[in-house]
Structure 1
Amino acid sequence: MSEQAWPMRLTVVPYVLLAGLTAVTAVIKRDQPRSLVIDLGLCALIGLWTLGMFTLRPARRTDHRAMAVFIVGFVLLLAVLVARDPWFGFLTPAGYFYTFVLLPWPVELFGVGAVAVIAGYAQSYAIPKTDVVGLLATAAVIGVNVVGMCLTGWLGRRGEVLSRQRKDAVDALTETNRRLESTLAENADLHEQLLAQAREAGVIDERQRMAREIHDTLAQGLTGIVTQLQAAETADDWRRHVTSAVGLARESLTEARRSVHALRPQPLQSATLSEAIGDVVRRWSALHGIDGQLTTTGTPRVLTPETESTLLRATQEALANVAKYARANRVGVTLSYMDRTVALDVRDDGTGFDPQQTRPSESGGFGLVAMRQRVEALNGTLEIESEPGFGTAISATVPVTGAGA
């Protein structure tokens, strides 16, 4: 039943039914003037009651108390008319319209039940009520009307509840979809920001990687080359120093190419970490004339390429610093394999320095910074112990991961 149909049934249909029944009464009781006058008076009274209490007062139609008074009066007048003339039972649909629409739940059931009693009485008007059978038949007709109409009212109310629940669910779903769309839009913006930050971070990481690789390959190699060429200027066996410089140049060029392609350092291509570090120590010792020894403790294991590269580069950087600054006579390198970590210690007996005064600079401080960045990128730690006149100890500790962990 549409919302536009209800006003017509409430404001027009009752008057049409009443007018039709009034005409029928006038025809049937044309030979009974006194009874006709009473019926016409009751018809006029119920019509005026409806007009004054409902039709002409639309503002009061939502006032449940006022509408309850109106329906009580309507039902009482309808009961009198049906008691006098059974054909006025055809006016009961108007009573149902009013009670279904104007009364709140569950008061609606009482109004519907009262109208159903009147309708059932009208339908059983012709049944004799002088014996038990007639009374039972009358009660049965009235009962059927009451139960049927109350059930209809309950089903209608249940349908309204379900319809309201569906509407609430649709509204909730619509709101959820709106919020989801808003969240998706926010997530899209956040995703764009994260991508931009990731790109920026990637650029920074690549710059730092290239800076470390350049320092560990070209810078150290060029330093060694300069050292060898300077030594060749005053040495009798200058050819040996020139040959060493050429070798360093070739090695540096190879490592630079490998750094550009982000490949593993050349010493690790065909040797274990311990063997690669031992080779670096031996060559460094021969090149600089400083006694260097490697000691390996624990059970060697397979580490990730990143871990091995980091420890190898740390060894190269530590030895390069010894050659440039320490003026040491002996260097000890220890590679320790432990249960959960692997540690690299480089100790010298050189001049030492004050770690608190060391700052990265273009002239020579970037090596320690690069070393620390490499180690901390693997969740490791780098410790530097030194004191002027008492040498230097550098310790890099990295968690063990990989196939052998």
Structure 2
Amino acid sequence: EERNRIARELHDTLEQELVGITMQLDLAVDCFTQAPHIAQRAMDTARNMSRHSMIAARRSVWDLRCHLLENGDLASALKQVAEALTNRGGVKIDTSVSGTPSQLPAPVEINLLRIGQEALTNAVKHGLAQHVVLELHYGAEKVRLEVSDDGRGFSADDALLASNGHFGLLDMKERAQALGCSLQITSEPGHGTRITVEVPFDWKQPSYADSKAHTYSGS
């Protein structure tokens, strides 16, 4: 059932966004000579929409292929991801689970797993971290996922701009938005990175408009 939902969402979302991209490109063509500033704005919008479509397609394909949650819970799946990265050598990844683990809705577990995997991969591949800590905490009212590292860090103010091409961070941000939450990023050059997301236990599927808010502006 969950796979069917993801497949339908992939079809509907991509179709809608491709129509939007086509409309923006048509507008750019119509205004190219008489109103070049409008044409440029339409091209910028189409570019951001196409980038978002690539992220959405990659995300949905990954979700369809996700097997780590089929035979285990979120905590064990995150540990498997950490172990796989640790086995590549050169990095120490500590994982901890606190509180009383409970089963979460499938969309919550899939998105938290993907955020955790992306955060760990970024820390190792791009941050060149030597030590990474992943914490999954089940509180009284919400679950919190936090990944921190001692890597080289980056400018958090600029990292989520669509024009900078940080697709991994954009993917994490949009997954958090899909859960009706916000992604907290703390980082600066030379001082590592910490990424945190919290989801309430009484989570409800947000509306399409809410989950897509600010997507194309890159904010």
TM-score w.r.t. the length of structure 1 is: 0.36
Match of 1:289 in 2: 90
Partner secondary structure for residue 294 of structure 1: strand
Whether contact under 8 Å (1:345, 1:393) holds in the other structure is yes
SS at match of 1:353: coil
Q: Could you list the runs of 5+ residues in structure 1 that have no partner in the other structure?
A: 1-198, 218-255
Does residue 191 of structure 2 align to residue 377 of structure 1?
no
Q: Is the 8 A contact 2:159 2:169 kept in 1?
A: no
1:216-254 deviation line (CA, Å, top 9, x unaligned): 69xxxxxxxxxxxxxxxxxxxxxxxxxxxxxxxxxxxxx
Structure possessing the higher relative contact order (Cα contacts under 8 Å, 6 or more residues apart): 2
Shift in CA distance, 358/269, structure 1 to aligned 2, threshold 3 Å: same
Q: Which amino acid aligns with 1:353?
A: F
Contact 2:96 2:134 in 1 (8 A): yes
Which of residues 186, 201, 209 is equivalent to 1:400?
201
Deviates more, 1:344-353 or 1:356-365: 356-365
| Shift in Å, 1:204 | 3.2
Q: Does 1:204 align with 2:17?
A: yes
- For residues 165 and 121 of structure 2, the distance between their equivalents in structure 1, rounded to whole angstroms, comes to 11
Q: What is aligned with 2:5?
A: none
Does residue 325 in structure 1 map to residue 169 in structure 2?
no
Q: How big is the shift at 1:370? A: 1.2
C-alpha deviation, 1:363, in angstroms:
7.5
Aligned to 2:103: 302
Letter of the 2:177 counterpart: E
Partner residue in 2 for 1:237: none
Q: 1:326 to 1:209 in 2, by over 3 A?
A: same
Cα 1:275/1:396, change in 2 over 3 Å: same
TM-score when scaled to structure 2?
0.65
Residue in structure 1 matched with residue 7 of structure 2 by the alignment: none
CA shift, 1:281, in A, is 0.5
Does 1:268 find its partner at 2:69?
Answer: yes
**CA separation in 2, counterparts of 1:266 and 1:365?**
26
Number of positions where the alignment pairs a residue of Structure 1 with one of Structure 2: 160
Q: Quote the offset at 1:360 in angstroms.
A: 4.4
- Tell me if structure 1 keeps the 8 A contact 2:55–2:167: no
State the distance in 2 between where 1:296 and 1:383 align: 20
Greater C-alpha Rg: 1
Residue aligned with 2:94, SS = strand
Q: 8 Å contact 2:127–2:153 — kept in the other structure?
A: yes
Q: What is the Cα deviation at residue 356 of structure 1?
A: 1.1
AA paired with 2:68? Answer: P
Between structures 1 and 2, the one with greater strand share = 2
Amino acid at match of 2:129: A
Aligned counterparts of 1:372 and 1:360: Cα–Cα separation in 2? 11
1:33-48 equivalence runs, <5 A: none
Residue 340 of structure 1 deviates from its aligned partner by 1.8
Q: 1:2-401 counterparts in 2 under 5 A? A: 203-204=16-17, 208=52, 211-212=55-56, 214=58, 256=61, 259=62, 263=64, 265-360=66-161, 364-401=165-202
Q: Secondary structure at the match of 1:303?
A: coil
Distance 2:144 2:70 in 1: 21
Percent identity of equivalent pairs:
33
